[in-house]
């Protein structure tokens, strides 16, 4: 009887409580499977992309060897000749030399100089958006920043080509080289306006809104108590920002800087339009033509497609691998920096 009672009570209890449990369990299981598969897919896609890229570039990797990283000469070879040149079992047209040093150097240099200008500027803009800009016009300022972040890069590129480049070539560069030419890297030929300066300017225009928007959100997420406490202790608002607010949002700032750095490294069309497409030569000053990995892949692709040996296409794929790896390295280093910061903070606490 007791047993029956028990079982009846059990059944009743089950009737009351079990469907939700069952539902919850199955929903959880489904969610776990779905998210797991989604994570695997995104991971798998990146892995497969890299795998096929490397597999496609393999003949070029063998053919070019180390020369790819130390030679500044990019030459798809004599397409209209009759000879071929063979290295490591793979052949290209006679005279071919695929050295990527100019482009690797150009990518890193344009991105780094862009960040040197853009990071302090965006940090200051973000801080003033949160603490300085009057409340009435803040929504307008925020909307403007978001609008700038959303403008397609080709629009910036076109503006750069039509407005910025003639201005740099006709006014800025001649003035700077004449009056500030004693500073290294600012003297010498003023050039056409297409080049490093124009690329950096355009890239900064594109990454500053991104950094401002993300940094602003990080600062807003932080409670204002730090700022207020610091002010209450008698610091100026500048001191409160630099000593109290900025250190507390360091991690978020690093993340936003990296996001922007990645964007600057990979930006293609806008840079291609204003960089001057340097080939076989390094920039001699701030106004010299330059070229980046992303830009050269686009500008050389059509010629590469007509290379009968196919080695030019494969070498462009090798360039793409290099860009991939540089971006990956930047990410890994950044994670390291953030983990280091975490540990130091942990030790302090």
Partner 1 sequence: MRKTLALVLAALLLVFVGGRALAATDLLETGSTLLYPLMNLWVAAYQQAHGDVQITTQGTGSGTGISQAISGVAQIGASDAYMADAQMKNTPMLNIPLAISAQQINYNVPGLNNVHLNLSGPVLAAIYSGQIQYWDDAKIKDINKQYGSKLPHQQIVPIHRADGSGDTFIFTQYLSKSTPSWAGGPGYGTTISWPSVGTAVGATGNPGMVQTCQNTVGSIAYIGVSFLNQTDKAGLGYAALENQAGKFVLPTATTIAAAARALDAKTPGDERISLIFAPGEDSYPIINYEYAIVNPKQGDAAKAAELKKFLDWSLESSGGQSEKFLGAVHFLPLPASIVAKSKAQIEKIQ
The residue whose two tokens read 């609008």 is 147
Q: How far is the CB of 42 from partner 1 (least distance, A)?
A: 31
Helix ranges restricted to H, the chain: 2-64, 67-70, 101-131, 138-150, 153-159, 165-167, 173-179, 196-221, 225-232, 237-239, 246-248, 250-266, 269-274, 293-305, 311-348
The reply to whether 15 sits near partner 1 by the rule CB under 8 A is no
Nearer to partner 1 among residue 193 and residue 209 (C-beta):
193
> What would the x/- binding string for partner 1 be over residues 35 to 74, using CB under 8 A?
-------------------------------------xxx
> What would the x/- binding string for partner 1 be over residues 223 to 262, using CB under 8 A?
----------------------------------------
Q: How far is the CB of 107 from partner 1 (least distance, A)?
A: 16
The reply to whether 91 sits near partner 1 by the rule CB under 8 A is no
Among 59, 106, 157, 191, binds partner 1 (CB under 8 A): 191
**Cβ atoms within 10 Å of 163's Cβ, excluding its own:** 10
CA–CA dist 244, 223 (Å, integer): 12
The reply to whether 166 sits near partner 1 by the rule CB under 8 A is yes
58: Cα separation from own chain's centroid: 26
CB contact at 8 A, 321 and 57? yes
CA–CA dist 60, 315 (Å, integer): 5
The reply to whether 288 sits near partner 1 by the rule CB under 8 A is yes
The reply to whether 95 sits near partner 1 by the rule CB under 8 A is yes
3-state DSSP assignment of residue 99: coil
CA–CA dist 114, 108 (Å, integer): 10
Q: Which residues contact partner 1 (rule: CB under 8 A)?
A: 72-76, 78-82, 93, 95, 97, 161, 165-166, 169-170, 188-189, 191-195, 272-273, 276-281, 284, 288-289, 291, 299-300, 302-303, 305-306, 308-309
């Amino acid at each position: 009887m007791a047993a029956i009672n028990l079982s009846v009570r059990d059944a009743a209890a089950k009737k009351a409580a079990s469907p939700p449990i069952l539902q919850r369990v199955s929903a959880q299981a489904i969610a776990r499977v779905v998210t797991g598969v989604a994570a695997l897919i995104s991971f798998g896609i990146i892995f497969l992309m890299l795998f096929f890229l490397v597999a496609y570039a393999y003949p070029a990797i063998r053919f070019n060897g180390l020369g790819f990283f130390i030679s500044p000469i990019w030459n798809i070879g004599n397409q209209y000749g009759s000879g071929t040149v063979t290295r490591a079992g793979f052949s290209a047209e006679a005279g071919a030399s695929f050295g990527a040093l100019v482009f690797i150097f150009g990518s890193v240099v344009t991105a780094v100089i862009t960040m040197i200008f853009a990071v302090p500027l965006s940090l200051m803009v973000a801080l003033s958006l949160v603490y300085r800009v009057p409340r009435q016009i803040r929504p307008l300022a925020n909307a403007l920043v978001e609008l700038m972040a959303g403008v397609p890069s080709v629009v910036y590129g076109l503006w750069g080509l039509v407005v910025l480049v003639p201005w740099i070539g006709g006014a800025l560069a001649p003035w700077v080289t004449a009056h500030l030419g004693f500073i290294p890297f600012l003297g010498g030929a003023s050039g056409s306006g297409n080049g490093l300066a124009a690329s950096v300017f355009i890239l900064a225009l594109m990454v500053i809104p991104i950094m401002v928007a993300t940094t602003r959100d990080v600062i807003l997420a932080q409670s204002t108590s730090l700022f207020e406490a610091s002010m209450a202790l008698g610091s100026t608002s500048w001191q409160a920002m630099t000593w109290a607010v900025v250190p507390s949002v360091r991690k978020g700032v690093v993340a936003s800087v990296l996001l922007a750095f990645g964007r600057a490294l990979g930006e293609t069309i806008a840079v291609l339009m204003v960089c001057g497409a340097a080939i076989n030569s390094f920039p001699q000053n701030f106004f010299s033509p330059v070229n980046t990995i992303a830009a050269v892949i686009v500008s050389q692709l059509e010629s590469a497609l007509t290379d009968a040996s196919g080695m030019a296409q494969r070498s462009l794929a090798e360039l793409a691998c290099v860009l991939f790896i540089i971006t990956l390295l930047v990410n890994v280093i950044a994670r390291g920096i953030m983990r280091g910061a975490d540990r130091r903070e942990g030790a302090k606490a």
